[in-house]
Structure 1
């Protein structure tokens, strides 16, 4: 009797175990074909980064800010515009010595005209100082564009790697379910032939529900990750061609779904494979999650790069602009002079006393200088504001550098921990889980273990594979975080 049980167990478990062992090597992790919709476009990380530089809305907004700052420099470097005034007297009357009025009349523009020119002469080098402030602000805006690129690239890599992790876990879950489907099909045939009791099939079905939730959960996580990537690439996550992929079981579907068949009577006939719909997605992300690139640069070199990080440079240039603005406020102590020149022409009344040379019009020229007075309190107040802002900007620049070094220290610690955890899985943890599963299978065949114990070993192997994927993801994300924290390009992984 024991030999019959051994042969039966070998027939039941060998195909499932073989499929389970070969599933991870069927295709590189993160590249296996998934039943996505027809409108899903394959997308690698390199392609996503290229699209982000071109289409990311946050980066576009930063570039527009740089354009505005460059336009402001044109205004700052220009001379104060002169002002031209043109006028005309609209009425005239004469007054006698006794105070009587006579000869009142309305004048047309052709009878008189007044023209004036006013020029502001700046003193203290204000124009040069304004230009210096504008140049510093352009440098700050350029650094902010680079910082926006650094930040958006990290967000893209973070979202892409997270979606790739969900994809890899979905591949594991689908491979597990394919093995379980084949095993359940064999058990159903054996039950129909009367070779096993129905209780064996029921226990098997009850134990596989966890694997079904892994499929649906990872499919949902993958779709959510793709939506995040699409938003970063300025693509509408909800706009895609219809036609979702469908992952169906071997004739068994969950009740209530369109096109399902009525289940047979009995507990063993209840469907155990849910009909999973992989929601229509804008992209199908591809990447080798099992590629473990070497860092290739030391900690000291990365630490030195923190001072050149885009946000640190932007804060330093902001402090330089604030200091230049303080010097401009100091230059306001030199008062500007306004030069006013005028010319006027007015035709004379024809009822004036006659003379040998009768006069027709009077031309007059004028020149005046104006200087503002009582400006000391205003100048000192503006200088105090500019001095305080310069000190504030300097403090913020130092704080930004310290924060950047703090982020780098945390990123390096995360990298070391992720590398150590990855070494644990790649050095034999996954192999030990696979050996434990095979050992449990052999013990079951020999009659020393139950089928549920074998399924428990399979769950352990599945958890180990999922944790290995998470360790790979943590290591790749740690590399991307190191690049984001240090500002040194080329550290992030290329999948």
Structure 2
């Protein structure tokens, strides 16, 4: 094979590899998997599990013994040396109470990580759909630019034929400039949306240039009663309930502190003057005359009551947020269905009809411009309705986690339409 052909083949292979690398696409499952694996904030939250495990291990340890050495009368021939080993004995169930508090902390750490995962999932879903809408908005802007360019060509042809005034060309050029500006704006918004999604997946740069999704629609809102029946299964409610359990455990730990510990001492004493060694045995215990830990017990009891009030507040908030999000979701999907079924097809048909009528001299160019503006406005409102529905779904998933199986995707406008 001649050298030039080898070089050409190598260049072709390199170009093909570069093109394959540059046209990487990203789906929602891929984005979620990358976020769960690489998001640094989630990784930091997962460290709390190890922290709680360490606290649980520490809570179960026994107090260390104490070794003491004492000399009476420092003169060499008359000194008395005493060596004792003391061991504190915890009474009143203090160790078990500490373990209960640390165990509640472990449960809270696990639930908090689950809450972080739900929040990250909702953020990724929200960012993915925002990027998908930005991608679709760019496609629609490019379609509008193509329609505008077609209108300009028609106007120029009619002006050249003397069938329209030259001012029509100016209007068409203004419309074209606006369409080009809209394309540039849509390109910028897509880059920003892609970057937000990339950050959530743990990447400093967007390693994709296309999003894969079967539909822009977030699906139909699930039944409110079915969700509200699951309030006590949500991670936020369980986290609030775990806080109540930790409050009760802390109260038990503070009550256990009212009982003083007993210290047992065992040692040996040697007198140089008498040349005699004797064993030493001692018991010591603080007398709870003044400090019976009553202040800490009172504070722990009030914190336990506070945790119960907060749990009730969490339940009330979750119910309110669920109803509000579902109402927003349902209303937005009604708008999406209206745009899918009636408004967008009618607006597109109006543009086609006005353009053909202008070509045949039946309509003025102002009619074409008006139809184009109506279509562009309708597309923008359609994307806004989709954004409202998606944001509502993200809010629901932030509370309940994944809603797979609870909502169905209707026949809606695809991002490739």
**TM bucket normalised to smaller:** 0.7 to 0.9
1:439 to partner: Cα distance: 3.0
Q: Is 1:44 the equivalent of 2:37?
A: no
The alignment partner of 1:398 has SS state of helix
Matches within 5 A, 1:96-495: 114-184=82-152, 198-237=166-205, 281-288=206-213, 290=215, 292=217, 294-295=219-220, 297-345=222-270, 348=272, 361-374=275-288, 376-487=290-401, 489-490=403-404
Q: Is the 8 A contact 1:163 1:285 kept in 2?
A: no
Please tell me the root mean square deviation across aligned C-alpha atoms, in Å: 3.1
Larger displacement relative to structure 2 (443-452 or 299-308): 443-452
Q: 1:224 to 1:72 in 2, by over 3 A?
A: same
1:345 to partner: Cα distance: 3.8
Q: How far, CA to CA, are the matches of 2:214 and 2:389 in structure 1? A: 10
**Count, aligned residues:** 391
1:452 to partner: Cα distance: 2.6
Q: Is the 8 A contact 2:25 2:209 kept in 1?
A: yes
The alignment partner of 1:373 has SS state of coil
The alignment partner of 1:423 has SS state of helix
Q: Is the 8 A contact 1:302 1:488 kept in 2?
A: no
Q: How far, CA to CA, are the matches of 2:382 and 2:55 in structure 1? A: 54
1:374 to partner: Cα distance: 4.0
Give 2:61's aligned residue: 78
1:445 to partner: Cα distance: 3.5
Q: Is the 8 A contact 1:230 1:236 kept in 2?
A: yes
Q: Is the 8 A contact 1:483 1:492 kept in 2?
A: no
Which stretches in structure 1 are left out of the alignment for 5+ residues? Answer: 1-35, 96-106, 238-280, 350-358
Q: How far, CA to CA, are the matches of 2:30 and 2:313 in structure 1? A: 35
Provide the TM-score with structure 1 as the length reference: 0.71
Q: How far, CA to CA, are the matches of 1:424 and 1:218 in structure 2? A: 24
Q: Is the 8 A contact 1:161 1:477 kept in 2?
A: no
Larger displacement relative to structure 2 (46-55 or 482-491): 482-491
Q: 1:442 to 1:188 in 2, by over 3 A?
A: closer
Please list the CA deviations of residues 207-240 of structure 1 after superposition, one character each: whole Å capped at 9, or x if unmatched.
2333223212221211111221222222224xxx
Q: 1:157 to 1:285 in 2, by over 3 A?
A: farther
Provide the TM-score with structure 2 as the length reference: 0.84
Q: Is the 8 A contact 1:162 1:473 kept in 2?
A: yes
1:78 to partner: Cα distance: 1.7
Give 1:253's aligned residue: none
Q: How far, CA to CA, are the matches of 2:264 and 2:250 in structure 1? A: 27
Q: How far, CA to CA, are the matches of 1:85 and 1:64 in structure 2? A: 40
Q: How far, CA to CA, are the matches of 1:196 and 1:92 in structure 2? A: 126
The alignment partner of 1:300 has SS state of helix
The alignment partner of 1:286 has SS state of strand
Q: How far, CA to CA, are the matches of 1:115 and 1:369 in structure 2? A: 15
1:376 to partner: Cα distance: 4.1
Larger displacement relative to structure 2 (80-89 or 134-143): 80-89
